[in-house]
Amino acid sequence: MEPAPKPPPDHGDLLVVDDEPFLRDAVAASLRFLGFEVTTGGTGAEALGLLRDRPFDLAVLDVMLPDTDGFEVLRRLRRDGCQVPVIFLTAKDTQADKVTGLSIGGDDYLTKPFGLEELAARIRSVLRRARPPGTGPVLTFADLELDQDTYEVRRAGHPVDLSPTEFRLLRFLMLNPGRVLTRGQLLDHVWAYDFGGSSTVVSTYIAYLRRKLAEFGEDLIHTQRGVGYRLRLPHPAATDER
């Protein structure tokens, strides 16, 4: 009998903020193993800076941080209009704290110590609830479709075979259509935890991606000279560097 097919890896760009390095690294390693993309931080200031700078799918936020508590971080984010889903982690097991965390806009609340499997399950649950109605897991731009659940990409209805790195690169571009993404941002996001080399790797993979997508239509990836790359509809007057 053939073995059951493996489920697709989890997906989502997560931020994990905790001032305990061992716990923070353990949580991040576990979530990366499951397929999530993970960025970490250790202070409230780091959390605010990262969440204001780039779009995360979800933040796992410790309540007791050295500079400010996680509740205040979320209050500031919500005042700024940032609606990123947040799961709080805390050593406090009181009803009042749980009510506070949820009433200010938190999505879930997990008390330390906790199991990594339980955290992963809660992350999946919150991500499912947070999807805008009708959008599902499929990202679209022009005639390009990327399914985050099945890891399939289609251009004008044709399947496009991408490597895992090419898939992550395209996904980040499609999550930010029209926005110029610097080489540094792309390195941090796509190669955040397994690469420490030169930014030339970005231009190399952009070239791979362009070549595969160009088999079925005009180029959608444009270079902003000296800055980075963006997804943009092609037009005859385009002057960007190829």
Is 242 domain-assigned? Answer: no
111 and 157 belong to one structural domain: no
The fraction of the chain above a pLDDT of 70, given in percent, is: 85
**Last-in-domain residue among 71, 96, 130:** 130
Pick from 130, 150, 168: which residue ends a domain? 130
H or E element at residue 160:
strand 158-160
Q: What is the pLDDT of residues 8-27, one digit of tens each?
A: 556 788 999 999 999 999 99
- Ranges 50-54, 65-69, 125-129, 235-239, most confident: 65-69
Q: Kindly state whether residues 125 and 157 are assigned to the same domain.
A: no
Check whether residue 155 and residue 118 sit in a common domain. Answer: no
Its pTM stands at: 0.56
- Quote the crossing angle between the two packed helices 21-34 and 116-130, to the nearest 10°: 60
> Are residue 17 and residue 80 in the same domain, yes or no?
yes
What single letter denotes the amino acid at residue 208?
Y
pLDDT digits (tens, 9 = 90+) for 110-147: 888 888 889 999 998 888 777 654 445 788 899 999 98
Q: Give the domain extent around 224.
A: 138-231
Domain boundary among 78, 106, 130: 130
Task: List the structure tokens of 60.
Answer: 């796992």
Q: How far apart are CA 65 and CA 5, in angstroms?
A: 42
**Which CATH number is 106's domain given?**
3.40.50.2300
Q: Which residues contact 219 (CB under 8 A, 6 or more apart)?
A: 210, 213, 234, 242
Please determine, for residue 195, whether its predicted confidence score (pLDDT) is greater than 80: no
Task: Collapse the DSSP code of 133 into the 3-class scheme (helix H, G, I; strand E, B; otherwise coil) and give the result.
Answer: coil
